[in-house]
Structure 1
Amino acid sequence: YLLAMQIFVELGLHVVLINVASHEWSQLRHEHSQVEGDSTAKARLSALTRTSTKWYSIAAVLFTVLVGISGLIYFSPADFVKDATHTVAWTAPWLCLVVLTGLQLCILPKTAILEGCGQLPTINRIRFWQALAGSAVVWTIMVSGGAIWAMCGAAFVRLIGEYYLVATKYRGFFQSLEEVTDE
Structure 2
Amino acid sequence: MTLTIPDDVRAKAEVYTGDEAGQIKTRLLLEETGLPSGLLPLRDIIECGYVEETGFVWLKQKKKVDHYFAGAGRHVTYGAEVSAVAEKGRLKKITGVKAKELLIWVTLHEICVDDPPTGKLVCKAIGGLSRSFPVEAFEADGPPPQPKNNLAAGEVVAKKESNGEEKKEEEKEEEKAIDEIDEKMKEMNKGEVVQAEGVAAKN
Normalising to structure 1: TM-score of the pair? Answer: 0.27
Normalising to structure 2: TM-score of the pair? Answer: 0.25
Higher relative contact order (CA 8 A, sep 6+): 1
- Which of the pair is proportionally richer in helix? 1
Larger radius of gyration: 1
